[in-house]
């Protein structure tokens, strides 16, 4: 859908980083006037909801520098260039939790902040996870701690805002709708 399309007149590239790129576009609005749009380019990301045999959800706690605090989240990570989200999902599961899986089910996808960023999040679930025999090396600047919670405990973590990000809040709400635990 192209309703109210904003045509680009000029793009100024501001920053080209490891995670994000920033550009400012001059655009023509539907009424013919001009405006500026600040745009973050992001490779996209994947989150995975791993469920253990005894119906616990596997989360990871990690420090989030933009917030200057740690959050409890489902395992997640950025897409590598050209990588299929399913591949990223299994890789991040292995790196962050030490589990792997052969069966993923797609849950949802959504843009996290469509007003200023093109980041898309793909969410998967698996209730068939197997501990890896050998540890998989993850990113060397990533420090995470595993936390396994029942759905009831996870709902409590949401209330306490220890779980407090879009993909994980969505995941907990989704599991409530499943009523499978």
Site for its own copies in 25-84 (CB under 8 A): 25, 27, 29-31, 33, 35-42, 45, 61-67, 69-71, 73, 76, 78
Token pair for residue 74?
A: 């489902």
Task: Answer yes or no whether residue 2 interacts with its own copies by CB under 8 A.
Answer: yes
Q: Please say which residue, 2 or 53, places its beta carbon nearer to its own copies.
A: 2
Please, what is the minimum distance in Å from the beta carbon of residue 52 to its own copies?
22
Interface with its own copies (CB under 8 A), residue from 86, 118, 127, 153: 118
- Asked if 121 interacts with its own copies (CB under 8 A), we say yes
Considering only residues 94, 177, 180, 181, which one is a binding residue for its own copies as defined by CB under 8 A? 177
> Which 3-state string (H, E, C) describes 90-116?
HHHHHHHHCEEECCCEEEEEEECCCCC
CA 4 to CA 7: how far, in whole Å?
Answer: 10
What DSSP character marks residue 19? S
Number of residues this chain uses to bind its own copies (CB under 8 A): 74
| Cα distance between residue 99 and residue 54, in whole Å | 15
Tokens 């192209």 -> residue: 2
């Amino acid at each position: 859908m192209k309703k109210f399309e904003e045509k680009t007149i000029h793009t100024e590239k501001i920053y080209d980083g490891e995670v994000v790129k920033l550009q400012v576009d001059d655009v023509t609005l539907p009424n013919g006037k001009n405006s500026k749009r600040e745009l973050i380019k992001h490779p996209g990301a994947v989150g995975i909801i791993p469920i253990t045999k005894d119906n616990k959800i596997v989360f990871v706690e990690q420090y989030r520098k933009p917030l200057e605090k740690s959050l409890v989240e489902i395992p997640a990570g950025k897409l590598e260039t050209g990588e299929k989200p399913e591949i990223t999902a299994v890789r991040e599961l292995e790196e962050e939790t030490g589990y792997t899986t052969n069966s993923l089910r797609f849950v949802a996808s959504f843009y996290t902040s469509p007003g200023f960023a093109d980041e898309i999040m793909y969410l998967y679930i698996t209730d068939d996870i197997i501990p890896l025999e050998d540890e998989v090396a993850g990113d060397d600047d990533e420090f995470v701690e595993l936390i396994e919670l029942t759905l009831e405990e996870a709902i409590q973590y949401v209330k306490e805002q220890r779980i407090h990000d879009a993909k994980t809040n969505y995941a907990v709400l989704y599991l409530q709708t499943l009523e499978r635990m």
